[in-house]
């Protein structure tokens, strides 16, 4: 099964994807994580990605598509995969369909998360991420603080704030997201695979609630061997 996560930065895509990964045995592939890893290692891909990400802009289609094409060839995602951060444009979606078709696969579900803008900004500026690349657990200083300040509950590594998690960059990212992905939401709605969920403290429904409900649905309604 191929699941795609849509949603502006800070809507909880990573949280939902990580829970689904564990419950459905479907590897989460985050283009953002891949780019950040390359940025921290100072690779050519990292330098290119940082020149866009640091300004709140999207990395060009050809770069991102090439990255995903390579990842889809790997054995661990031959059965199930959760794509987080890709596609971001209709062009990317069309290319993904072609890549999947070559493998005899298709997009099965697109989870579209929506959250009020003011909540997104609050979440992101208070977000802290485990520096251990094998953990990457996300905390929020307001909603989900670590038990020990600055330390990951799961692995004990230091928590860090992403360089682009500031108000100015977040607002630019939200604007760019909406500009580029409104058409993408319509694209998947027409395909009949779009599933939209509101994630907001105002209705007491957060990412974990959404993820567990979707996991239960998929486990009950599909006959796939998870």
| CA nearest to 218, candidates 90, 96, 82 | 82
Residue 30: per-residue pLDDT: 87
pTM of the model: 0.79
Binning pLDDT at 50, 70 and 90, where does residue 223 land?
Answer: low
Q: Is 162 annotated in the active site?
A: yes
Residue 129: per-residue pLDDT: 94
Q: What is the pLDDT of residues 104-125, one digit of tens each?
A: 999 999 999 999 999 999 999 9
Average pLDDT over residues 185-214: 94
- CA 185, distance to chain mean position in Å, is 15
Binning pLDDT at 50, 70 and 90, where does residue 225 land?
Answer: very low
Concatenating the DSSP letter of every residue in the chain gives: -EEEEEE-TTSSHHHHHHHHHHHHT--EEEHHHHHHHHHHHT-HHHHHHHHHHTTTPPPPHHHHHHHHHHHHTSGGGSS-EEEES---SHHHHHHHHHHHHHTT----EEEEEE--HHHHHHHHHTEEEES-TTT--EEETTTB--SBTTB-TTT-PBEE--TT-SHHHHHHHHHHHHHHHHHHHHHHHHHT-EEEEE-BGGGTB-HHHHHHHHHHHHHHH-----
Give dist(CA 89, CA 102) in Å, integer.
Answer: 20
β-partners of residue 163 are none
Q: Is 154 annotated in the active site?
A: no
Q: Is 88 annotated in the active site?
A: yes
Task: Identify the burial level of 77 via C-beta atoms within 10 angstroms of its C-beta, where 0-12 means exposed, 13-18 middle and 19 or more buried.
Answer: middle
* Active-site residue identified among 36, 128, 136, 173: 173
Residue 224 has pLDDT above 60, yes or no: no
| Half-sphere exposure of residue 30: CA atoms within 13 angstroms, side-chain side | 18
Q: What is the pLDDT of residues 121-143, one digit of tens each?
A: 999 999 999 999 888 898 999 88
Concatenating the DSSP letter of every residue in 69-102 gives: HHHHTSGGGSS-EEEES---SHHHHHHHHHHHHH
Domains defined for the chain, CATH in brackets: 2-221 (3.40.50.300)
Q: What is the pLDDT of residues 15-59, one digit of tens each?
A: 899 899 999 999 999 888 888 888 888 888 888 888 888 887 878
Q: Is 173 annotated in the active site?
A: yes
* Active-site residue identified among 36, 123, 127, 128: 127
* Active-site residue identified among 13, 123, 128, 136: 13
* Active-site residue identified among 23, 37, 162, 205: 162
Residue pair 127/138 in contact by the 8 Å Cβ criterion: yes
- For the chain, the average pLDDT equals 90
Residue 117: per-residue pLDDT: 92
Average pLDDT over residues 61-78: 87
Residue 226 has pLDDT above 70, yes or no: no
Q: Is 205 annotated in the active site?
A: no
Binning pLDDT at 50, 70 and 90, where does residue 156 land?
Answer: very high
Average pLDDT over residues 162-179: 88
* Active-site residue identified among 88, 123, 128, 136: 88
Residue pair 109/4 in contact by the 8 Å Cβ criterion: yes
């Amino acid at each position: 099964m191929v699941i795609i996560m849509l949603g502006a930065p800070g809507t909880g895509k990573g949280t939902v994807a990580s829970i689904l990964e564990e419950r459905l045995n479907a590897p989460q592939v985050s283009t953002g994580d891949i780019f950040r890893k390359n940025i921290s290692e100072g690779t050519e891909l990292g330098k290119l990605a940082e020149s866009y990400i640091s300004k709140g802009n999207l990395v060009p289609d050809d770069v991102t598509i090439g990255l995903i094409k390579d990842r889809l060839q790997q054995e661990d995602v031959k059965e199930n995969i959760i794509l987080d951060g890709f596609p971001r444009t209709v062009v990317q979606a069309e290319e993904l369909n072609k890549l999947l078709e070559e493998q005899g696969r298709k997009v099965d579900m697109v989870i579209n998360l929506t959250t009020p803008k003011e909540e997104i900004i609050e979440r992101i500026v208070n977000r802290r991420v485990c520096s251990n690349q094998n953990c990457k657990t996300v905390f929020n200083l307001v909603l989900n603080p670590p038990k020990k300040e600055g330390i990951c509950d799961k692995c004990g590594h230091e928590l860090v704030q992403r360089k682009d998690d500031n108000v100015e960059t977040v607002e630019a990212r939200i604007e760019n997201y909406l500009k580029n992905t409104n058409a993408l939401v319509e694209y998947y709605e027409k395909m009949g695979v779009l599933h939209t969920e509101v994630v907001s403290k105002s209705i007491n429904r957060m990412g974990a609630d959404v993820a567990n409900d979707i996991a239960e649905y998929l486990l009950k309604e599909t006959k796939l061997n998870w």
